[in-house]
């Protein structure tokens, strides 16, 4: 029935055992348990049942239950799980929620409008740098709920920082004002490379840093993240995005997606990128300082002037630039829409002749990568005069292994002239191609191309090629190694093989191709002749080149 009048407020107080049936609307305060009840009223008045209803207070059992947590398992109460040695462990709601921390607990908004620099930095400092820096319990995962977190300065990332978002293009840290990187690493006393003293006074240098499921974007022509004097830094499923466009098409050495900076005493080491995307920086990756063991696995590189440029500033004498990057590997990555080289290993011109064999990048490996036809042609398309090598190694101890190049480096026709485009791989390196299968037609008495062709332009004289192959013809099998060397004196080749079940009747040769009288000999072409056995031959071949 509707309430038509409030005539009085009644209340009782006493012990829990003395609580009577309260009249409708009458209050009863249980002194010993600090709990409050109200009378239901009669069923005739519309109450669902006669009795007293507890009003939730801080002392009520219902409130205590609501503020406590006991793990029940994925089946809930239907399957009994004992969480303690002699019973269940009950924790407060505060304790349970404090197992996880959101950047919004430090007043970050993520609304793509508010400047969240101070809030994010406060969270980083409180979790990883300030008074609790040596207590491992303080090093919680810092969660970034989906949103765009605007910043106006570089965020400094301390040791043991662990930043996690909800995924690229969901949780975004967006910088767009000052010409500084979005992030730089710092020691646990707050010292950065630029402020000086990183690692001094016993401070813990940047280490064990993990960043995942975030987009890190810079809307001005500067860097994504500078990894300074850091070790054991891990990125997983992150996107690094700058402001470079193909329309600008020029190198800007300050626009770097990823860079490292070392000191002589504190070189960088063990930097890993897994399933990450790098886009819209003039240089997606720039490594010149001393660093060892850098890995890019299953990453995507796109829209840049350079893909990865390695060793440009290494000079052998400047602090932190004495040896250069060592053991840098790109595996299973894709590259597209890059104006110049996807991977450029440079030997600095300032390195002295005495140091040339000890200073500079070493063991730079490209393995199983995909290079689209939009790489290394100045954003002008395949077959242009401005093409450069897709991979260029200007220092030794480098290799390209089982890479796939969508841009074919055979000769092309440009008007009335026959020319070579730039080679897939150029410089001081070893390359290993994928296995190719070709058919060698029966009864071919004139040397005929196998279709296996290798770039050997005027800048590549001195190339050597080793062709490991297997030929099957009927029941005859030949396994061999066909070696080719190119020098200023011409081309030389040798075929070393063993056969079973007779003679395969195949002769391999190699020649230098010359498509017009004015062009240099630029192609190594493998040719064959066969006897007449009534059967074609099949050749599986894998080429290894020293370029």
pLDDT computed for residue 383 by the predictor:
64
Nearest 5°: the CA angle 98, 102, 108 is: 135
pTM: 0.82
CB 542, CB 504: distance < 8 Å = no
> Which helix or strand (DSSP H or E) is residue 409 part of?
none
The dihedral region occupied by 232, where left means phi > 0, alpha psi between -120 and 50, and beta the remainder, is left
Question: Which domains occur in the chain, in start order?
Answer: 11-66 (no CATH), 100-239 (2.160.20.10), 244-251+261-431 (no CATH), 433-546 (2.60.40.1680)
pLDDT computed for residue 354 by the predictor:
67
End-to-end CA distance of the chain: 95
User: CA dist 425 to 91, 302, 366, 402, 435, Å?
Assistant: 62, 19, 11, 12, 17
CB 341, CB 390: distance < 8 Å = yes
- Measured between alpha carbons, how far is 347 from 393 in angstroms, rounded to an integer? 9
- Measured between alpha carbons, how far is 117 from 123 in angstroms, rounded to an integer? 10
Q: Determine the 3-state secondary structure of 29 from DSSP.
A: strand
pLDDT computed for residue 6 by the predictor:
47
What the block records as the tokens of 260 is 């490292």
> Of 490, 495, 483, which Cα lies nearest the Cα of 514?
490
More confident call, 100 vs 214: 214
Residues 393-449: tens digit of each pLDDT: 998 889 999 999 987 654 444 443 444 567 788 888 788 888 899 999 999 999 999
Residues 485-542: tens digit of each pLDDT: 988 778 899 999 999 999 999 999 999 875 443 444 467 899 999 999 999 999 999 9
């Amino acid at each position: 029935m509707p309430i038509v009048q409030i005539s009085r407020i009644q209340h009782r107080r006493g012990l829990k055992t003395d609580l009577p049936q309260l009249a409708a609307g009458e209050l009863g305060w249980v002194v010993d348990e600090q709990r409050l009840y109200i009378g239901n009223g009669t069923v005739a008045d519309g109450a669902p049942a006669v009795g007293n209803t507890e009003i939730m207070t801080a002392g009520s059992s219902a409130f205590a239950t609501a503020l406590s947590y006991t793990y029940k398992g994925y089946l809930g109460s239907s399957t009994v799980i004992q969480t303690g040695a002699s019973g269940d462990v009950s924790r407060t709601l505060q304790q349970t929620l404090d197992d996880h921390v959101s950047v919004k607990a430090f007043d970050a908004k993520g609304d793509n409008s508010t400047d969240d620099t101070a809030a994010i930095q406060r969270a980083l400092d409180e979790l990883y740098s300030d008074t609790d820096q040596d207590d491992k319990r303080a090093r919680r995962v810092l969660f970034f709920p989906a949103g765009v977190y605007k910043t106006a300065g570089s965020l400094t990332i301390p040791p043991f920082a662990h930043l996690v978002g909800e995924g690229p293009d969901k949780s975004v840290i967006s910088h767009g004002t000052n010409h500084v990187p979005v992030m730089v690493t710092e020691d646990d006393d707050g010292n950065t490379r630029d402020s000086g003293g990183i690692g001094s006074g016993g401070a813990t240098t940047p280490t064990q840093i993990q960043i995942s499921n975030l987009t890190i974007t810079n809307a001005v022509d500067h860097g994504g993240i500078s990894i300074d004097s850091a070790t054991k830094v891990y990125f997983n499923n992150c996107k690094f995005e700058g402001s470079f466009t193909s329309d600008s098409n020029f190198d800007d050495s300050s626009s770097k997606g990823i860079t490292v900076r070392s000191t002589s005493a504190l070189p960088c080491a063990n930097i890993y990128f897994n399933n990450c995307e790098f886009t819209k920086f003039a240089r997606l990756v720039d490594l010149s300082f001393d660093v060892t063991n850098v890995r890019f696995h299953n990453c995507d590189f796109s829209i840049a002037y350079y893909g990865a440029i390695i060793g440009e500033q290494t000079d052998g004498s400047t602090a932190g630039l004495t040896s250069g990057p060592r053991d840098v590997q790109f595996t299973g990555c894709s590259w597209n829409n890059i104006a110049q080289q996807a991977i450029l290993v440079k030997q600095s011109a300032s390195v002295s002749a005495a140091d040339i064999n000890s200073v500079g990048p070493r063991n730079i490996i490209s393995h199983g990568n995909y290079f689209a036809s939009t790489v290394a042609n100045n954003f002008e398309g395949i077959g242009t005069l401005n093409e450069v090598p897709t991979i260029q190694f200007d220092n030794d101890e480098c290799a390209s292994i089982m890479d796939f190049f969508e841009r074919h480096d055979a000769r092309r026709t440009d008007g009335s002239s026959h020319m070579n485009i730039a080679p897939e791989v150029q410089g001081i390196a070893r390359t290993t191609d994928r296995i190719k299968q070709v058919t060698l037609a029966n009864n071919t008495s004139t040397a005929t191309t196998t279709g296996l062709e290798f770039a050997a332009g005027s800048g590549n004289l001195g190339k050597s090629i080793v062709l490991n192959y297997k030929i099957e013809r009927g029941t005859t099998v030949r396994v061999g190694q066909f070696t080719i060397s190119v020098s200023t004196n011409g081309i030389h080749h040798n075929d070393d093989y063993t056969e079973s079940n007779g003679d395969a009747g195949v002769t391999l040769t190699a020649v230098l191709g010359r498509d017009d009288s004015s062009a240099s000999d630029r192609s190594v072409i493998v040719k064959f002749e066969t006897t007449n056995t009534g059967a074609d031959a099949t050749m599986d071949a894998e080429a290894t080149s020293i370029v």
